[in-house]
Structure 1
Amino acid sequence: MTSSSSRKPIRKAVFPVAGMGTRFLPATKAIPKEMLPVIDRPLIQYAVDEAREAGIEQLIFVTGRGKTAIVEHFDHAFELETTMAERAKSLEILEPTRIQPGNLVAVRQQVPMGLGHAIWCARAIVGDEPFAIFLPDELMIGQPGCMKQMVDAYNEVGGNLISVLEVPEEEVSSYGVIAPGARGLGADGALTEVTGLVEKPRREDAPSNLIISGRYILQPEVMRVLEGQEKGAGGEIQLTDAMARMIGTQPFHAVTFAGKRYDCGSKTGFVEATLAIALQRPDMADDVRAMMQRLLAEG
């Protein structure tokens, strides 16, 4: 465990967004999956908002072909803003889409070789700093957000952290699962020591029911592990394999997320996220609840 005085802050975040989104075709034929709207914000905006709440300054998008709309979303839209200003419309709604000059970087993952390879593509920008990773498909809703909870935990213990959630035991075979050590650590008891990682174990073999849920804080040494790592499951370079090799060499903890996770990598999860967030919004909740009741009655 590093002392708080020598611990480098989490200032950078990597967003692997190079995937083709084939599960959402034909919607994603010309539009990046990450730009599909959940109510009135694209999916990527939720992850960026979460990052900024956690104090992250530099956003690193690992992109592929056809993904320029993601970067453009966070640029100034001069024609739109000029027209809105001329019509005396407030520009406040666009404020979350504005990034400080120099704080957004895009790098290309030319070949789809897995999540570990995507993260490795950001190595020059990450440099020698610890960094966060966001998988935008995992829409995490909490107060505070998932990454803010993780950064607070990192400020306590340093090292490497992953977010986890408890699931019913019959669901563990669909996820990466941690092997836990000491539990109930940290000021709020939400930290668990990680002694191993198991990808999609059989129910009877699972070391716990704590699944990895799409948010990470990793030390820069993971880039050197990824550099020489051979392909794993699916013929791809797996981030889970690299993290597993770091366990025992550096502190490694899991943060049990206090909030809700929506799997927007699936169509059903995307619909669930849309409805759940609509029901949280005062401007929509009553109408959406009445609509849902009407549709269920008609069903």
Structure 2
Amino acid sequence: MKVRKAVLPVAGLGTRFLPATKAMPKEMLPLLDKPLIQYVVEEAVASGIEQIIFVTGRSKRPIEDHFDKDYRLETQLQESGKTELLKMVRDITDMVEIAYVRQKEALGLGHAVLTAKNLVGNEPFAVMLGDDIIRTPSTPGIGQLVEQFNRYQASVLAVEKVPMQQISSYGCVAASEIAPRTFKVSDMVEKPPVAEAPSDLAIIGRYILTPEIFPILEQTRAGRGGEIQLTDAIKALGHQQDIYAYLFEGKRYDCGDKLEYLKATVELALMHPEFGEPLGEFIRSLKL
């Protein structure tokens, strides 16, 4: 089966970025000249995804507007002869088919994925979190997981190695390596104490899941914080079918954290062909 759809849960309140996110979705925070969520959508499209399913909530209308057609703006750009900007705006609108569904209650990531059930249907699908921006040398982040799904026809989780003193901030896996960078998962633990962590392989915000996850999510009880944890449901799915983890190639920026968001902005700016060099000169000139 082919992975054609990606679920992007964007209903969260973004409280870690208050007050900036009081009236603006955190997914619309700019990283250089694009909002965070556009990087994720572009990654999906570059990986062969044909439909994006946004799981939204209140105050998320700017996300819909960003990917919608803006006749007034396009007309103004066309009349002003700004053809490059006009093409850029139209490309955002035309890059992929998009559907929206509301998560009416903040009941966790597992519940957000379950909310997309009717739009996903009976087929494998990707889940991509907007906090994680992934830069890779070649194949996009979720595209690497699609390749593994095509090989094993089973759910695949993206993982990265993190220092053990940080593992309590992540879900992590107990797994055995079966091929370079590829692991068969035997257990999953959500934010374990360091002494109880089964490995340093942390689960990050990219998944390929089979549709059998949905009936499990329907039966999953609320866990920590009164939320339905996606990790709990995937762990239960592992009792029915194989689960794999893939140590993705590339670098992840945790843009849900203020400091990491700033680091991502600086690092990506320094690699930018237009202003990387002058920004580097400016940084070197600072008397810190």
Question: Do both proteins adopt the same fold according to a TM-score greater than 0.5, normalized to the shorter chain?
Answer: yes
Asked if 1:55 is matched to 2:55, the reply is: no
Residue type of the partner of 1:234?
Answer: G
CA–CA distance in structure 2, aligned partners of residues 233 and 203 of structure 1: 18
Within 1, Cα distance between the matches of 2:6 and 2:104? 20
Residue in 1 aligned with 2:218?
227
- Residue 215 of structure 1 pairs with residue 206 of structure 2: yes
Partner of 1:9: 2
Deviations 1:184-213 (A, max 9, x none): 42xxx2211111111122222221111001
The AA in structure 2 aligned to 1:43 is: L
Q: Where does residue 4 of structure 1 map in the other structure?
A: none
- Are 1:161 and 2:156 counterparts? yes
**Mapped pair 1:38 → 2:54:** no
Provide the identity percentage: 45
Deviation at 1:99, TM superposition (A): 3.4
Retained in 2: the 8 A contact 1:195–1:248?
Answer: no
Gaps of 5+ in 1: 1-7
Map Cα deviations across residues 15-68 of structure 1 (whole Å, 9 max, x no partner).
100011111111111111100100000000000000001100111000001101
Equivalent residue letter for 1:53: A
Q: Which runs of 5+ in 2 are unaligned?
A: none
1:254 correspondence with 2:248: no
Query: Corresponding residue for 1:122?
Result: 116
Query: Aligned partners of 2:62 and 2:256: how far apart in 1?
Result: 19
| Aligned residue pairs, count | 285
Query: Aligned pair in 2 of structure 1 residues 184, 284: CA closer, same or farther (>3 Å)?
Result: farther
**Matched residue of 1:98: which SS?**
helix
- TM-score scaled by length of structure 1: 0.92
Partner AA of 1:16 in structure 2? P
Q: Could you say which residue in structure 1 is the equivalent of 2:129?
A: 135
Cα distance in 1 for residues equivalent to 2:186 and 2:42:
31
User: Greater shift after overlay, 284-293 or 263-272?
Assistant: 284-293
Q: Is the 8 A contact 1:158 1:251 kept in 2?
A: no
Deviations 1:53-86 (A, max 9, x none): 1100111000001101101111111111111111
Aligned to 2:167: 172
Which of 256-265 and 203-212 deviates more? Answer: 203-212
Structure 1: which amino acid aligns with 2:145? Answer: M
Tell me the alpha carbon deviations over residues 149-176 of structure 1, each in whole angstroms, 9 at most, x when there is no partner: 1111111111100100011222212211
Report 1:95-110 matches (<5 A): 95-99=90-94, 103-110=97-104
Residue 114 of structure 1 and its aligned partner are, at CA, apart by 0.6
When normalised by structure 2's length, the TM-score is: 0.96
What's the C-alpha RMSD, in Å, of the aligned pairs? 1.3
Quote the residue 2:283 is aligned against: 292
SS of aligned partner of 1:19: coil
Q: Which residue of the other structure, out of 115, 139, 143, is the alignment partner of 1:144? A: 139
